Amino acid sequence: MPEILDQARTQVLENGVGLDESGVLAVLNLPDEHLPAALQLAHEVRMRWCGPEVEVEGIVSLKTGGCPEDCHFCSQSGLFTSPVRSVWLDIPSLVEAAKQTAKTGATEFCIVAAVRGPDARLMKQMREGVAAIRAEVDIQVAASLGMLSQEQVDELVDMGVHRYNHNLETCRSYFPNVVTTHSWEERWETLRMVRESGMEVCCGGILGLGESVEQRAEFAAQLAELDPHEVPLNFLNPRPGTPLGDRPVVEGKDALRAIAAFRLAMPRTILRYAGGREITLGDLGTRDGLLGGINAVIVGNYLTTLGRPATADLDLLEDLKMPVKALSETL
Amino acid sequence: MTELAEPVRPTDRAGATAPPWCDRCGGESATGGHAACAAARVLEPPRYCAHCRRRMKVQVLPVGWSAACVEHGEIRG
């Protein structure tokens, strides 16, 4: 057994203290032969500190495309030659999407907009949309609207938004290679305000942007410092027309190593499968990740791409005897 | 425009009446291989109208999607 896994068994599994950056790096550098042991340990950590429940979420794009920012992975930037056009979702369709999500057993419904930060029109749409959902659908509403002002944070709290997603995307040292129109520190400032407001913090990122293994470890350590309620873990799905459109996808074993390492860095967080798992891991890898530290999934489609049918994930959870977290446990 | 057109997938284009444009990349169906486009379309909605090559307004929803061409109407999947 590699020394780092022995250390993690005592430190993380028994005492609930996450690995630091050097420990995460050691896990990320484990040879393939030790990957099953790392995943097994990460699964034990998840079961010990989070329990067997899996949190299920659906997401929808309220405002697609036309974003002024230049996040190099994103097909919704208006600065690239992506085929994605700008489109707004009307409120009846938003409510219907929430209903469809709730039918899967999901407890979370995240409303997302491709913006630098919300303007008055978007905040009005949010206020009306969240009120309509809360009147008709039994589901928790989360939001992801970019960078916020303090007034906007307060307004979202007032609407009843219980969790706010704002991904750091990658580690601080690599961020300028991915985004040039705003800084990592600006994102951190929004996260600080969200935390202080009492909303739950959802913050993760994307692996496979060209970062080194050392930078992946740096990212895990920075997320652990933030201590978010939820960490969505995406794997790059290279989008045509974006600066990262020709990058290779993350190799499956590297993705699983990262899942185990992030779980060992953050034993108590909700670690969610997000975009890209279908092409990086496929069906078998999806199962391996759920048995290697993942305890939440996005079901159904993503913002501009399609996911597996919700039933495929729900059947898998049933097969793995992992109960879907009930709404009563999230309130 | 209210016509509801049938979804066109790249694999449909082998037929004599296949639409002229790839609905993923917007390239000519008859030139170049679009096998990669067909494979990608399993996990993507169409982006280009297969009849006129216009970029469509696409809304992805948790269950399903819609794609609207200003000339040829809306398709859903």
Contact (CB, 8 A) for A277 and A289: yes
Flag whether A203 is marked binding.
no
The distance from CA A321 to its chain's CA centroid, rounded to whole angstroms, is 23
Hey, are the CB atoms on A240 and B25 less than 8 Å from each other?
yes
Residue B63 to residue A310, Cβ atoms within 8 A: yes
Domain-located, residue B2 = no
Nearest residue to A295 (alpha-carbon basis) of A325, A319, A252: A325
Find the helix or strand (DSSP H, E) in which A19 lies.
Answer: none
Instruction: Output DSSP code: residue A77.
Output: B
Q: Is the pLDDT of residue B13 over 50?
A: no
Residue of A nearest to B69 (CA): A85
In a domain, A216, yes or no: yes
Contact B57 A85 (CB under 8 A): yes
Which residue in the set A85, A101, A279 is minimally distant from B62, CB to CB? A101
Residues 6+ apart with CB under 8 A from A108: A55, A56, A57, A58, A139, A140, A142, A163, A330
Q: What is the pLDDT of residue A143?
A: 98
Would you say residue B10 has pLDDT above 70? Answer: no
pLDDT for B2 beyond 50: no
**Domain assignment present for A2:** no
**Three-state SS letters, A274-326:** CCCHHHHCHHHHHHHHHCCCCCEEECCCCCCCCCCCHHHHHHHHHHCCCCECC
Whether residue A279 lies inside any domain: the answer is yes
End-to-end CA distance of chain A: 41
Maximal CA-CA distance, chain B = 35
- Asked whether residue A194 is assigned to any structural domain, the reply reads yes
Residue ranges of E strands in A65-139: 87-88, 108-113
pTM, to two decimals: 0.94
- What torsion do the CA atoms of B8, B9, B12, B16 make, to the nearest 10 degrees? 50
Interchain proximity B63–A87, CB inside 8 Å: no
> Letter for the amino acid at B26?
G
Residue of chain B nearest A57, judged by CA positions:
B62
Give pLDDT, residue A284.
Answer: 82
Per the domain annotation, does B1 fall within a domain?
Answer: no
Domains held by chain B: number: 1
- The CATH number for A74's domain is 3.20.20.70
pLDDT of B7 strictly over 90:
no
Q: Does residue B4 fall inside a structural domain?
A: no
Query: Is the model's pLDDT at B8 over the cut of 90?
Result: no
pLDDT truncated to tens, each residue of chain A (331 aa)?
A: 899 999 999 999 999 999 999 999 999 999 999 999 999 999 999 999 999 999 999 999 999 999 999 999 999 999 999 999 999 999 999 999 999 999 999 999 999 999 999 999 999 999 999 999 999 999 999 999 999 999 999 999 999 999 999 999 999 999 999 999 999 999 999 999 999 999 999 999 999 999 999 999 999 999 999 999 999 999 999 999 999 999 999 999 999 999 999 999 999 999 999 999 999 999 889 999 999 999 999 999 999 999 999 999 999 999 999 999 997 666 5
The token duo for A121 is: 């029109």
CB A237 within 8 A of CB A249: yes
Q: What does DSSP assign to residue A108?
A: E
Closest alpha carbon to A94 in A122, A121, A62 = A62
Nearest to A258 by CA among A220, A227, A202: A220
Is residue A59 one of the residues assigned to a domain? Answer: yes
ipTM: 0.91
Q: How far is B16 from chain A (nearest CA, A)?
A: 27
* H or E element in which residue A106 lies: none
Residue B5 covered by a domain: no
Q: What is the pLDDT of residue A331?
A: 58
A267/A42 Cα distance (integer angstroms): 8
Spatial CB neighbours of B73, under 8 Å, sequence gap ≥ 6? B1, B2, B3, B4, B5
Minimal Cα–Cα distance from B58 to chain A, Å? Answer: 7
- Beta bridge mates, A76: none
- Predicted confidence band of residue B14 (pLDDT cuts 50, 70, 90): very low
Q: Tell me how many domains chain A contains.
A: 1
CB contact under 8 A, B58 and A87: yes
* Domain of A203, in residue numbers: 19-321
